[in-house]
Amino acid sequence: MQKNIVVIEGDGIGPEVTRQAVKVLNAVAEQGGHEFNYHYCLMGACAIDKTGTPLPDETIEAALNSDAILFGAIGHPKYDNDPTAKVRPEQGLLKLRKSLQLFANIRPVTTYPSLQHLSPLKGKILEDVNFIIFRELTGGIYFGKKELNAEGTQASDECIYSREEIERIAHLAFKQAQQRRKKLTLVDKANVLETSRLWRKVVQDIAKQYPDVKVDFLFVDNAAMQIILNPKQFDVILTENMFGDIISDEASVISGSLGLLPSASIGKGSALFEPIHGSYPQATGKDIANPLGSILSAAMLLDHFGLRTEANKVREAANWTLQNGFVTKDIDPINFYFTSTIGELISDYVSGKTPGDI
Amino acid sequence: MQKNIVVIEGDGIGPEVTRQAVKVLNAVAEQGGHEFNYHYCLMGACAIDKTGTPLPDETIEAALNSDAILFGAIGHPKYDNDPTAKVRPEQGLLKLRKSLQLFANIRPVTTYPSLQHLSPLKGKILEDVNFIIFRELTGGIYFGKKELNAEGTQASDECIYSREEIERIAHLAFKQAQQRRKKLTLVDKANVLETSRLWRKVVQDIAKQYPDVKVDFLFVDNAAMQIILNPKQFDVILTENMFGDIISDEASVISGSLGLLPSASIGKGSALFEPIHGSYPQATGKDIANPLGSILSAAMLLDHFGLRTEANKVREAANWTLQNGFVTKDIDPINFYFTSTIGELISDYVSGKTPGDI
Ligand SMILES: [Mg+2]
Ligand SMILES: [Mg+2]
C-alpha cells in the first residue's frame, strides 16, 4: 500500500509527540511492506512566525491532496496573552477543518487498569469501558444563524440540520459499530427538539441497512449521567454537534489522562488525526510529553487506511507499555520514561522486538 | 409567621415522603410559633382517577393563591405502559409549572461522607462538595420556534433569550451567592453562541450590583468535565435551560443517591418545592422510600419564607440521621429504617428531642 500523509507537527509539544507517531508508522510500513510518504507542512504559531499566516495555502493544498493528515498541536502563549493579536494560531486549525469539510469528529474512550489511580471515577466503574463517540462537526447550532437585535436586548441562535448531514455521519457510525460490539446509541433530546426528532427519524431509517446493529436512544441529560454511572454500557455513541461537544469532553476525563486520547475527523475527501491534548508549552522540548495521544491517533489513521490488524497491533503495543510501567511523567511523576523512549518501545514492539519478559 | 402551603402529594411514593416533610414543617412551626396552613390538592394519576384531568382547576387556583407549594411525585405505570393514553399524569406538572410561570429551577448538590460508597466518584473528590445550580426554565431552545420542512428533510430549533429573562434569574442567583461563599459561575458557550454572549453581557452588568460576589465564566463543555474532576470549586452555577438540564442531571449523580436531592422552582408569584426523584411505583406503600429529598425540599421552602435558621436546622437534622446510620433501604439495604421513622427522627431533632448519644 502506498499512501501520502501530510504531517503537521505544529507548536509546543506537537513536534516531539508527532515524531513518535511517525516512528511507529514507519515500523508498521516496514513490517507490512507499505510505503508512507510524508509531506511536512506548517500550521499554527510556527506558521505565523515563518509566513505571517497560521495556515499557508501550501498546507491546505497538500492536505486536500493527501490520503490523511497527522497533526500534533497548535498554540503559543505569546498569542494567548496578547488580546490585541489579530492573527492567532488556532485560526489555522479552524480554517483547515473548514477547507477539508471535516463533518465527523470521532473520539474513542478507553480505560486502562494502570491509570485507574488518575481517574475521578471508582475503579469498578472503569472496568471494560471502551466506546467511541461520533460527533457531527459542521452543522447544528454552532453554524446556524445568529442574531442580536439593535438594542442588544434579545439574542438568538438557530440549530438546523438536514437529512443529508445526519445520514453521512450516521453511516460512518453504523459501519464502525459493525466492526465493534454492534451497538449504536443516538444521544438526542427528541422529547423537546425538532432537530432531534429528525436525527431519530433518519437514524431509524438508516438502521434498516445495518440489521446486525442494535440501536438505542438516550436523552442527552440522561447520557450525561450514564457516562459517569455506567460507561461500559456504550459501544458507539452518535450525536449532533453541541451534545457531542459536551459529552465527549465529559467522557474524556474518565480515563484519567487527556494525554493518551486520540481523535479523528473525517471529511468528504481527506481525514485528520490528532491527539485531543493541546500544545502544552511548559513541557516543550523536555521530552516529557505523553506521546500516546499522537501514537493512538496514528492507529486511527491506519484504521482509516483499512489496515486494521496493524492499527490493533499499535494499540496492543500502547497497552503493553502502560501495563509494564513504561509511562511518561504525567502518569507517574517519580518513575517515568521519556517521550522518545515510549515512541521507541512502541515502534520496537510493532517491529516484533519486544523484550520477552520484563 | 403565617403561611399558606399547598400540598400536592401526587402518586406512588409521593404521599408517604411528603407526609414526612409536613411532619418536619409542623415541628418547625411549633418551635417557632409559626402557623402553616396546608391545603391538600390533587395532581397526577390520582387526579385523573378522581376528576378525569391530571391538573384540576381547583389545584391551579389554590397554587396561585398560596405562599408555596410542596409537591411529592407523579406518574403511574398504567399510563406509562399505555401509548394510546391521551391524558397523562406528567401533563399535570408541565401545566402547573406553566401556570405558575416557574422560570428558575434550583438544585443544590451536596455530598455526605456516609454516602461515599454509593457515588461513582472517588471519596477524595467528594469532600466538601456543596454547590447549587440555577437553571433557567421557561426560555431557550426548549421553547423557541420549531420547524420541519414539508419534505421532512430539514428541521430547526431556535434558541432565543431576552435580557429580562436573564436578569430575573441572575438576580436570584447573585442573591443566593451572597448568602453562601460569594462565588457565581456562569456556564455558557460564549465563544460560539450569540445567546451565550448576551447571558455573559447581562451577568457582567448585573454583577456590578453585587460587588461582594466573585463572578467567573465557564464553557459548558469544560463545565461538564469540571463537575466530575473538581466539583468542590463551585458555589453557585447559573446557566440557561438546556445547559442546565444537562449539567444538573450530571451533577445529580455525584452525591450517590437521587433519593435525597431536593429542588425548588421559583416563579413571579408562587414557588414549588419537590424532590428530584420520581413516583417510584414499586416502593409505594411499603414505607421504604427515602424521605430526605422531600424533607430537604421543605428546607428550601423554609429558606424561601426567609426562615433560614429553621431551614439550616432541618438540614442539620438530615445530616445527623445520615451520620448516625438512620438511613432508608436505598442507602443501606441491610440495616435500614422506615420512611416514617426517618421523618419522626428529623422532626424530633428539630423539636430538640434528639437522643443525647447514640
Ligand atoms: Mg469541547
Ligand atoms: Mg433533565
A256-297: pLDDT as tens digits? 999 999 999 999 888 999 999 999 999 999 999 999 999 999
Q: What is the pLDDT of residue A227?
A: 97
Distance CA A290, CA A271 (A): 23
Distance CA A198, CA A213 (A): 20
Q: What is the pLDDT of residue A209?
A: 98
B216 is an active site residue: no
Distance CA A6, CA B302 (A): 64
Query: What number is the average pLDDT over the span A131-145?
Result: 95
Q: pLDDT tens-digit profile of B154-209?
A: 999 999 999 999 999 999 999 999 999 999 999 999 989 999 999 999 999 999 99
CB contact under 8 A, B156 and A159: yes
Q: What is the pLDDT of residue A356?
A: 57
- Which amino acid belongs to residue B44? G
Confidence band for B87, pLDDT divided at 50, 70 and 90: confident
Q: Which residues of A touch B246 (CB under 8 A)?
A: 220-221, 224, 246
Q: pLDDT tens-digit profile of A175-192?
A: 999 999 999 999 999 989
Looking at chain A, the whole-number percentage of residues with pLDDT higher than 90 is: 91
Q: What is the pLDDT of residue A81?
A: 73
- Is B105-256 the same fold as B1-100+269-358? yes
Q: Which residues of A are catalytic?
A: 142, 189, 221, 245, 249
Question: How many Å is the Cα radius of gyration of chain A?
Answer: 21
SS3 (DSSP) at B35? strand
Q: pLDDT tens-digit profile of B264-291?
A: 999 988 899 999 999 999 999 999 999 9
Higher-confidence position of A301 and B356 = A301
Top CATH class of B105-256 equals: alpha beta
Confidence band for A90, pLDDT divided at 50, 70 and 90: confident
Give me the half-sphere count of Cα atoms (radius 13 Å) on the Cβ side of residue B123: 5
Ranking A44-58, A343-357, B143-157 by mean pLDDT, the lowest is A343-357
CB contact under 8 A, B161 and A156: yes
Q: What is the pLDDT of residue A28?
A: 98
Q: Which helix (H) or strand (E) holds A186?
A: strand A183-188
Query: What number is the average pLDDT over the span A125-131?
Result: 96
Contact in structure between A35 and A69 (CB atoms under 8 Å): no
Q: What is the pLDDT of residue A78?
A: 86
Domain A1-100+269-358 fold: Isopropylmalate Dehydrogenase (3.40.718)
Contact in structure between A213 and A171 (CB atoms under 8 Å): no
Top CATH class of A112-255 equals: alpha beta
CB contact under 8 A, B250 and A122: no
Confidence band for A206, pLDDT divided at 50, 70 and 90: very high
Query: What number is the average pLDDT over the span B64-72?
Result: 97
Residue B44 has pLDDT above 60, yes or no: yes
Q: What is the pLDDT of residue B86?
A: 82
Q: Which residues of A touch B142 (CB under 8 A)?
A: 192-193
Confidence band for A355, pLDDT divided at 50, 70 and 90: low
Q: Which residues of A touch B249 (CB under 8 A)?
A: 221-222, 224-225
Q: pLDDT tens-digit profile of B286-344?
A: 999 999 999 999 999 999 999 999 999 999 999 999 999 999 999 999 999 999 999 99
Length of chain B: 358
Active-site residue identified among B221, B232, B286, B353: B221
